[in-house]
Structure 1
């Protein structure tokens, strides 16, 4: 299991963003301390997880860790 000591955030720019090191988004739901990730979102505003293949269901479950999902619907004026 990945622990808080294993994960660190590499600053992407001086103003915005960080790369999450040693934690893929596919494993984040099993991360011991989710508050570490939430605090990093507050601090860096944008987090970039290393690319890992995952299913749509895994991505949905990951995003739900941070709050309810908004399901967008196609409006009449939107092109397909």
Structure 2
């Protein structure tokens, strides 16, 4: 089970990123728990200044803009 956090205010890009994570995980057959982190103090603890951000198992793998599906697949399988 992978622990995924999507960091951001809840904007359209953040929502799209969350949906992409869910879609890629399902496509790959990877079990995930997903949490949306919208509190800026919590986001800052990860060192992310630009959202959306993606954290997998405690490691920041992406920050700023919408990630590519291929990158999400790589991060989820790592």
Bigger relative contact order, structure 1 or 2 (CA pairs below 8 A, ≥6 apart): 2
Q: Which has the larger radius of gyration?
A: 1
- In terms of fraction of residues, the more strand-rich structure is 2
When the two structures are superposed, what TM-score results if normalisation uses the length of structure 2? 0.27
- In terms of fraction of residues, the more helix-rich structure is 2
